[in-house]
Structure 1
Amino acid sequence: MNASVIAAARQMGPATLEGQRRVLAMFPGQGSQREGMAAHLIREFPETAGAVFERADDELGLPLRALCVEGDAERLRATEIAQPAILVTSLATFEVLRAEGFAPDLVTGHSLGEFTALAAAGVLDLADALALVRRRGELMAEVAAAVPGTMTAVSGVPASRIEEICAEVDGVVELANYNAPDQSVISGTADAVAAATDRLRAEGAGKMVSLRVGAPFHCSLMSTLEDRFADALSRAEFRDPAIDVISSVTAQPISNGDQARDLLRRQLTAPVRWIEVIAAATALGCTDYIETGPGRVLSGLANRMVDGATVRSTQDARRIAAVVAEYA
């Protein structure tokens, strides 16, 4: 770790532990990308983060390092670029923390982030994780080109009512993410999502945000990809988890490598059950929730759902230093 960042971390002092703490590392999904999202990693941690990016560039033949430091928002929004870029930025962040002794008790990931969680838990090696995520992004981009679709975050309407409205709208629109009790995400064709959005606004929905994802993930429109992605999954080696991984498909720990492979196939069309994921982590004794990678979406959701929890993000060098001081 860069000497200036270590010095800042050490000055913050060690954490004071009261009772048993259990740490969940949460890895973000698509939509968390932003311009310059890895600039601090390359600048401050060249030996650890830089090595991850160098290997990723070699494995994929993509200039991920340059894209994650200098790429513009439009380029990073492309599904086939965003997915490997977020994976590598998140894994590079994790390697920086792990090099300083950070060792979570459990890991989980939101959608795409589940691949990162599996790599962090030793289920996938970096080469297989990169290959799978690139293939996933390419296949999803094909669907996006063939069937214009979108995803919209909805606040202020219960998930049960959103499900009813989606069922009443013509076309494909489905509840894709159960993010928090007051936030869900709908996914489907552009026209059907627009119609559902109008109905939800009339129901008194609060903030509604079109997501920067480029395709209608986690809905039945992705079903055409399952067999093709299953072929890619069959060629990757899946090991049993070295630490518990909570699946976003089942909201339960993954038992073995074969189950992990099957869940990644099912994940294409299955909704992200993030409310249940956080509830499962809490039931397993988690007290600390660390978003590992770009953005602060998951830490924000944890803050809203778990009273009294310690929640941290790691999207810049200062926040990484704080996590090092508290957990390393």
Structure 2
Amino acid sequence: MSLCVLCPGQGSQSLNMFDRLRNDPLAEPALQAAWEHLPGAVRLGVSESTCYQTNAVAQPALVLYAGVVGELLRQQGVVPALVSGYSVGELSAQVVAGKLSTGHGIELAALRAQRMDDASPVDHGLMAIKGMRTAVVETLLPKLGEFPVAIYNDEQHCVVGGGKAALASLGNTLQQQHGAHVVHLCVKVPSHTHWLKQASVDFARDLQKVTWLTGDSLVLSGLAGRVCSAPQDSIDCLARQLSEALYWGLALDMAVEQGATVFFETGPGNTLSRMVRERFPDLPCRSLSDFKTVQGALNWLLKQGVS
């Protein structure tokens, strides 16, 4: 069976996100080995849960989490054929695939967060729109204001960017007039939109300075499932995705076309695995967060015949 590992973006992180790894006998050594690479605010213990909603804390934390899970898979001889990540999860995917060291991945996550914060206009963010065809949403948006689509998840689930006050008004309109379900995301930047063009330029320079490794797995970018087979492909995709829309549904389709028959999400949440089950209900798919122990997750993977 061909394994595709999925790495989540912001939204699943929390103050106690590392408890699962810290209290697990298999994961604790790998976590401690990577811990010193974290920025000081996270490494020394952030005590306010709201801090985990900031880019500076959330992005390095998520990359470390995925890097630890990737290391545990390698220790057990589980080498995914494919790895893909959602937003900052694409950086995590490069680490899990072995194309970046965990330390370099965390350092880049901190730089990514800074570039995004520096480029972002004030009082902007993202809003998810569900239960309404994305094609219909796209026809309405130009009439209602400047709301570029940031992420295409599926035919009835997209994410748009904009000023927060304008997004609140848009959400009310879509709910009242079209029956949509909207969710204002806990992010302070309009990721994957034109507002972050300068962040893409600056982050591309950061990525050029890093030592890239060969890796054992193929990385699929959220930019419509583009295959990153060479370092320059990875650099281009990681930089461009800051200011260009992600097509996550197409990335999942590409994974299946490339032969993925089993999906496993690194956690800490299970949002991506739920998306896979909705799109491909016949394929086995779980997240680490579905299991009480890391060993339980590894046992499930081995039962699927992946190696």
TM-score, shorter chain, exceeding 0.5: yes
Deviations 1:169-206 (A, max 9, x none): 23x31111111332111112223323332332244243
**Structure 1 residue 288 and structure 2 residue 258: aligned?**
no
Change (3 A) 1:97 1:204: same
2:31 aligned residue:
49
Contact 1:49 1:96 in 2 (8 A): no
Change (3 A) 1:98 1:317: farther
Out of 31, 34, 42, the position equivalent to 1:63 is: 42
Deviation, structure 1 residue 100: 2.4
- Aligned partners of 1:249 and 1:187: how far apart in 2? 17
1:215 aligned residue:
189
**Structure 1 residue 155 and structure 2 residue 130: aligned?**
yes
TM alignment of 1:125-136, pairs within 5 A: 125-136=101-112
Contact 2:135 2:155 in 1 (8 A): no
1:246 aligned residue:
220
Contact 2:70 2:95 in 1 (8 A): no
Contact 2:197 2:242 in 1 (8 A): yes
1:92 aligned residue:
68
- Aligned partners of 2:275 and 2:202: how far apart in 1? 33
1:186 aligned residue:
160
Aligned residue pairs total 300
User: Match for 1:177: what amino acid?
Assistant: I
Change (3 A) 1:65 1:243: farther
Deviations 1:254-275 (A, max 9, x none): 1211111011111111112111
- Aligned partners of 1:42 and 1:241: how far apart in 2? 27
Deviation, structure 1 residue 83: 0.6
SS in 2 for 1:52: helix
- Aligned partners of 2:251 and 2:285: how far apart in 1? 15
| Fraction of identical pairs, as percent | 25
User: Match for 1:254: what amino acid?
Assistant: C
Deviations 1:28-66 (A, max 9, x none): 001121221111201213212221223x23xx4443373
Deviates more, 1:183-192 or 1:34-43: 183-192
- Aligned partners of 1:73 and 1:86: how far apart in 2? 15
Deviates more, 1:87-96 or 1:33-42: 87-96
Unaligned runs of 5+ in 1: 1-20
User: Match for 1:85: what amino acid?
Assistant: A
- Aligned partners of 2:269 and 2:11: how far apart in 1? 9
Deviation, structure 1 residue 312: 0.4
2:241 aligned residue:
267
1:14 aligned residue:
none
Deviation, structure 1 residue 292: 0.7
Change (3 A) 1:205 1:222: farther
2:89 aligned residue:
113
- Aligned partners of 1:64 and 1:184: how far apart in 2? 34
- Aligned partners of 2:142 and 2:32: how far apart in 1? 47
Change (3 A) 1:242 1:94: closer
SS in 2 for 1:63: helix
- Aligned partners of 1:188 and 1:132: how far apart in 2? 26
Deviation, structure 1 residue 240: 4.4
Contact 1:156 1:204 in 2 (8 A): no
1:29 aligned residue:
9
- Aligned partners of 1:65 and 1:303: how far apart in 2? 37
Change (3 A) 1:285 1:25: same
Contact 1:165 1:199 in 2 (8 A): no
Deviation, structure 1 residue 317: 5.6
Deviation, structure 1 residue 241: 4.4
Deviation, structure 1 residue 121: 1.4
**Structure 1 residue 320 and structure 2 residue 305: aligned?**
no
SS in 2 for 1:36: coil
- Aligned partners of 1:134 and 1:80: how far apart in 2? 6
SS in 2 for 1:188: strand
Deviations 1:85-124 (A, max 9, x none): 1111121122223322322111000010000111111222
